[in-house]
A and B are shown apart, each in its own frame.
Chain A
Amino acid sequence: MTLIFLILAAITIVGTAAAMSFRNPIHCILGLTVGLVGLAMLFLHLGAQFVGFTQIIVYVGAVAILAVFAIMMTQGGRRLTETATKPQITPSLLVGGTVAGAVFAVLGWAMLGRPSTAIHSVQPVVSVNQIGQLLMHNYVLPLEIMAVLLTAALIGAVILAMPQERGKR
């Protein structure tokens, strides 16, 4: 529990809390981005450079932008001041609260079950080289399956985006 860890954890928590509490969806995404960057910084703090930078590339560079685009295309980022004025106990809130509680319970059980010295253990220095070796040798099958899955998704997206060809005739 160093000072840096506390600062980064605070950034992450504040960012994600902001993402949940802002009214404007674009602000929510920006808050979420802050949280994701904080998480990436935590990875970097633990010496996992590859994971940290990939987190930024994937989540800040791609997912945040994708979410922003999705919001712009569905409702144009209008300010939703009139909706959701006060919290009401709705079924969705109940389900969400139950799931969140379950997740936190499992996490807490897992963390408390381990000796607390685990946090202070020597930081594992994993080079990108080692990750590459592992991916290409031990985990080559999962990697290939992921690649096939992503390619299929890409082709599916292209097909979805092409219907006007048929409608022309």
Chain B
Amino acid sequence: MLGVGILKGLTETARNFVGSYFRKDRLTTIQFPEERAPRIEASRNFPFLVYDGPDAMAGLRCVSCFICEKECPPKCIIIDKSTDKKPDATGKLQFYPAEFKIDVSVCMSCQICVEVCPFDAIKMDTDFELSTQNRFDDLLWPKLRLAKSNEYYHEIHPTEAAAVDADLAAARAKAAPKPAAPVAPVAAAAAPEKGTTA
């Protein structure tokens, strides 16, 4: 009969209405700035540079090989290669990026730079609050701002970071069989064949 379905629907919505005041599990909304959803491990947003050790500028894994700059589809990465070599975290002398910039407004978070990096030096972040007040200064991030520690990487992508660390350790062990050095020298030169686990 006409109207019975309407009454059923009305009771359903009334139940929702009343229930939302008594049962918190009905309300799935997260009140964003005050409370946040737990981080999702698989989420990716904007790349950052990984460094080992305590000093961000000294421990950067990046050797400024320009692969990511060339591969970047929107061309948002700008690298200045250094003229000298500096010891990296493992003590081996390497080129390092004198400047490494990424334009936030251009980057499309495609993760291709991460895929192509032979040194596991650039990884995807989960931070999404990138908006700024200033259009011209705050959107071109320098390497100081891009550098984040390996611990932070472990924090946001634990599974993936563990796999990367294992790979790196294995490669270093293979490249340096003699146990003379206190820590195995960086196997960066041997790494290109090895696909990253990103």
Instruction: Judge A-B direct contact (beta carbons within 8 Å).
Output: no
B binding-site residues for A, Cβ under 8 Å? none
A binding-site residues for B, Cβ under 8 Å? none
